[in-house]
Structure 1
Amino acid sequence: MTDEEYAAALERERRERNERAEYVVRDEHGEYHLMRRNGARQAWGVTRYVKRETAELAAAFLNRLKEDEA
């Protein structure tokens, strides 16, 4: 495997990993739930917040952290 092929494979793996799961905010019953959603669009709760801004900030931070990790 050449250096270029290796770099392309790493980039492809990084994109696939980033597409698999993401953090989203869902408004339910006056609370804002931070949810982790997988590639099949299934979601489960991580935690809940009283303020939408806080939930969105947490989701943005976790999504960015996931991207940097990849």
Structure 2
Amino acid sequence: MTDEEYTAALEAERVARCDRARYIVREEHGAFHILRRNGAGQAWGVARYTTSETADLAAAFLNRLKEDEA
């Protein structure tokens, strides 16, 4: 494997990892829930907030952390 092929494989893995899961906000029962949704569309709760602004900010922060980690 050449250096270029190795670099391309690492980049493809990073992109796939970033595309797999996303943090989303969903309103349910008067609260705003942050959910982690995987590539198959399954989602599970991570946290609950009382305002949509705080939930959106937290989800954006978690998504950014995930991208930086990749």
TM-score where L is the length of structure 1: 0.97
Match of 1:60 in 2: 60
Does 2:16 match 1:22? no
Q: Secondary structure at the match of 1:35?
A: strand
Match of 2:40 in 1: 40
In the alignment, structure 1 segments of 5+ residues that lack a partner are: none
What CA deviation, in whole Å up to 9, does each residue of 1:10-59 have, x standing for no partner? 00000100111010000001100000000000000001000100000010
Instruction: State the number of aligned residues.
Output: 70
Supply the RMSD in Å over aligned alpha carbons: 0.5
In the alignment, structure 2 segments of 5+ residues that lack a partner are: none
Partner amino acid, structure 1, of 2:64? R
User: Runs of 4 or more off by more than 2 Å in structure 1?
Assistant: none
